[in-house]
Structure 1
C-alpha cells in the first residue's frame, strides 16, 4: 500500500511508499485532465459529447466512455504529454488501449489532485470546476474509499482483479473535509484477497493518514518512503 496526504491550507504533507501501482479506473481523472488541457490549447470548451462522455466516465466509472476519451486524447502518448504539463513525473501510461494498466505513485496522484483543486494549476477555472463537480457526484455504489475519512468529499476510485495473482488492486483518491480542515488524500493498494477486503483496508488507511497528519504540528512534513 502507498499513501499520500496533504493539508493545503498549511502545506503539511506525508507520503508513504514510493512504488508505482496499477491505477485501474483512478486514471480516468488523468484522462479527463488531459482532455481538458487539449481543449484549452484549442481555445474551446468541451463539446456536448465530450462533456457527457466525461460525466459517465467519472461519475459511473464507465469503461466504454474511458475507451472513447482515451482515443480522443491520443492514447498513452497523449496522457504522457498532458502529465508533463501537470507535473506528474512517475506515471507510465498503459500501452495500446490498456489505460487501466497505467502505473503511478501516490505522490504523483497527489500532484494530480493539486492540479484539480488548486488555483495555481495548468487547468483553468472552468476545467477544474468540471472535474470537481463530477468527482463530487459519484454514483452511490462507488461512495467508498477516501470518503471514509471525512464528512464531505470529492473522489474517484479504481479497482481491478489481477489474473496473474488472483488478487485485487484497490485505489482511492480525492478531497475530503475532516477535523475542521481540508485534505487531499491518495491510497493505492495491491494484493487484497477480495474487493471488499481491499476497500476496508483502503478506508482504514485513509482514516489513519488524516488522523496522523492532524497530530503533526506544522510546518513539519513527514515524508516516509
Structure 2
C-alpha cells in the first residue's frame, strides 16, 4: 500500500498551546477542561507531631478521594477556535478525533456543500457495492478512482457517481456507513452534496478504523489514494501533521462569488494520529479559505492533544 506522504513543516506557522487555565478563562469562567486528576489519599500521621495535632488532633486525617473530572472536549475546542473564527461572512466547522484515546471534539453543527471531498464518499459507496457483489473493482473503475482522488478529476467523479446510482445510491450507502447528516446532491451535481463535519469524521473513522462495513482491502485502497494526492492539492489538514492522507474540496459559488473550502483526512503529529474534518463556506477567495481551513486544523489538533 502506498505510504502516507510526508513533507517538511512549513515555516512561520504558529501553533496554539492551551493551558487548562486559559481554557477556563476563555470559556467565561465556566469549567471547560482540566487535566485528569488521580484520586489520592494522604495520611498526615507521618507528618511532624505538631502539624498532625494542629490539623487533626489525636486522630489520623485522611484526605478524601476526589472523582476524576469529566473533560468537555467540545468546550476545549470551542475556546481554542475563538482565535480562528472569521468574520460574519465566512463560517467554519471542525471535527477531530485522537485515534489512540478515542476522544473527539466538534465545533459547529451546520451543513456545508461538500465540493470534492464527496469523492471519498463516492469511492466508499462504490467499494461497498463491489463487496456486496463479491467482486473487485474493474480496471476502468480503478482508473476512475485513482484520477478522482489523486487528481480530483470531476469527469471521473461523475462516472462513478452514475455507477453508484447518483444521490440515491450515495444516501443508501451512507445509511450503512453511519452518516446521518449527509444528503446527496440533486441530479449530476455531486459537488452540492450537503454534509457536516461530524459526518465526515464518521466517514474517516470507517476508512481509517477497523469496523465491519468496509473490509480491510477496501479501507487500504482508499487510504492509499488519499496518501498520493497531487502536489498542488496537498494543503488543508496536512498543515496539522508531519504525515497525512487527505482529500480537499474547493468550489466558487457563482451567485455570491464566495468560496467553499473543505479538507478531510488523517494526520500524524508528535507520535499520535488524528482524524480531521474541516468545512468552510463564504470565503472571500480560495486562498483565504485555505488559510482558514489550515488554521482550524492546526488549532483542533493542538487543542485536543493538550486535553487528552
TM-score, structure 2 as length reference: 0.70
1:17 and 2:108 are equivalent in the alignment: yes
1:171-207 Cα distance to aligned partner (Å, 9 max, x none) = 0000000121000000000011100110011001110
1:26 and 2:117 are equivalent in the alignment: yes
1:58 and 2:149 are equivalent in the alignment: yes
1:91 and 2:182 are equivalent in the alignment: yes
1:177 and 2:177 are equivalent in the alignment: no
Give the Cα separation in 1 of the matches to 2:306 and 2:225: 31
CA deviation after TM superposition for structure 1 residue 121, in Å: 3.5
Larger Rg over CA atoms: 2
Counterparts of 1:43-54 in structure 2, within 5 Å, are 43-54=134-145
User: Aligned to 1:114, which of 202, 205, 215?
Assistant: 205
User: Aligned to 1:102, which of 169, 172, 193?
Assistant: 193
User: Secondary structure at 1:138's aligned position in 2?
Assistant: coil
**Structure with the largest fraction of strand:** 1
CA deviation after TM superposition for structure 1 residue 12, in Å: 1.1
1:146 and 2:232 are equivalent in the alignment: no
Give the Cα separation in 2 of the matches to 1:82 and 1:9: 27
CA deviation after TM superposition for structure 1 residue 82, in Å: 0.3
With a CA cutoff of 8 Å and minimum separation of 6, indicate the structure with the bigger relative contact order. Answer: 1
CA deviation after TM superposition for structure 1 residue 87, in Å: 0.4
Give the Cα separation in 1 of the matches to 2:240 and 2:272: 12
Match of 1:161 in 2: 252
1:204-225 Cα distance to aligned partner (Å, 9 max, x none) = 11100000001113xxxxxxxx
Give the Cα separation in 2 of the matches to 1:162 and 1:179: 37
Point out where structure 1 has 5 or more consecutive residues left out of the alignment: 218-225
Match of 2:86 in 1: none
RMSD of the TM alignment (CA)?
Answer: 0.6
Match of 2:5 in 1: none
Give the Cα separation in 2 of the matches to 1:164 and 1:116: 34
Runs of 4+ aligned residues of structure 1 deviating over 6 Å after TM superposition are none
Deviates more, 1:115-124 or 1:181-190: 115-124
CA deviation after TM superposition for structure 1 residue 23, in Å: 0.3
CA deviation after TM superposition for structure 1 residue 56, in Å: 0.3
1:88-135 Cα distance to aligned partner (Å, 9 max, x none) = 000010000000000000000000000101111400011001000000
TM-score, structure 1 as length reference: 0.95
Point out where structure 2 has 5 or more consecutive residues left out of the alignment: 1-91
